[in-house]
Amino acid sequence: MTGIDGKVVAITGASAGIGEAIALHLADRGARLVLGARRVQRLTEVAGRIAAAGGQAACQQADVRRREDLAALVGLATERFGRLDVLVSNAGLGTTGPLDQLAVQAWEDLVDTNLKGVLYGIAAALPVFRAQGSGHFVNIISTSGLKITPGQVVYAATKNAVRTLTEGLRQEAGPSLRVTGISPGLVGTDFAAGMTDPDQREQTLRMRDQIAIPADAIARAVAFAIEQPDTVDVGDMVIRPTAQS
């Protein structure tokens, strides 16, 4: 199936930021959406906006740290629309801070959300894709894994783990499945809210206000990967502000 119109796309972390932008953009292109996030009210509002514009969107609460939530999200797609064409693993935490803080719980939360959450999505969707003979994984990664910055070490480590996972999945996927990794740079979202170091948070907010690109830029990259013919696999994209070093 070439293009976006009619495809069933599940998105995690769809209640705000990049996930919301992806949902709205793909809905505008005719995709049928299955949206998951922890914040149910925000999620319902996004689904309502899509429906009000004439689109189709189902939604339910989904915490990617819980394997059963990902299984339920994929199940909702197959029950409501009869198939799943794309899984966009977008949900993630942006907690940062120097290693000297020994914020071990925060480290565990990063691993559970940013890495295990993607793995749980794969575990839920891969059998469906294999049975269909088609499917597309789109993993949202980060440029933080490409340029390591003090204070973002654990966050970057989880994103680089997803980068490795994405490439390995691509190699194992075979000729009928597609796998795409997209690494956003500085995007105009509330990412800085998770930063525990006040100086780093202030610096990031200042840079965001100066050079950040809109979340829709990432949504358009996702759409580009999805709309290619089934025989074309867009493997890796980096989308960042021109002014970002």
78-127 tens-digit pLDDT: 999 999 999 999 999 988 888 999 999 999 999 999 999 999 999 999 99
Residue 165 structure tokens = 């996972």
pLDDT digits (tens, 9 = 90+) for 160-199: 999 999 999 999 999 999 999 999 999 998 777 767 677 7
Nearest to 113, CA basis, from 134, 86, 142, 133: 142
Residue 142: burial class (beta carbons within 10 Å; 0-12, 13-18, 19+): buried
Q: What is the pLDDT of residue 194?
A: 66
Structural tokens at position 183: 């690494």
Domain coordinates in residue numbering, the chain: 8-228
Contacts of 68 (CB under 8 A, 6+ apart): none
Q: Is the pLDDT reported for residue 1 higher than 70?
A: no
202: pLDDT strictly greater than 90: no
Per-residue model confidence (pLDDT) at position 205: 85
Is a pLDDT exceeding 90 seen at residue 28? yes
Superfamily of domain 8-228: NAD(P)-binding Rossmann-like Domain (3.40.50.720)
| Of 224, 225, 217, 221, the residue nearest 242 (C-alpha) | 217
Q: Radius of gyration (Cα) for the chain, nearest Å?
A: 17
- Active-site residue set: 155
CA distance 152 to 82: 41
Rounded-to-10 torsion of CA 18, 21, 25, 28: 150
How many whole angstroms separate alpha carbon 8 and alpha carbon 187? 26
- Give the mean model confidence (pLDDT) for residues 117-138: 98
Joined tokens for residue 72: 């339920």
In the predicted model, is pLDDT for residue 219 greater than 90? Answer: yes
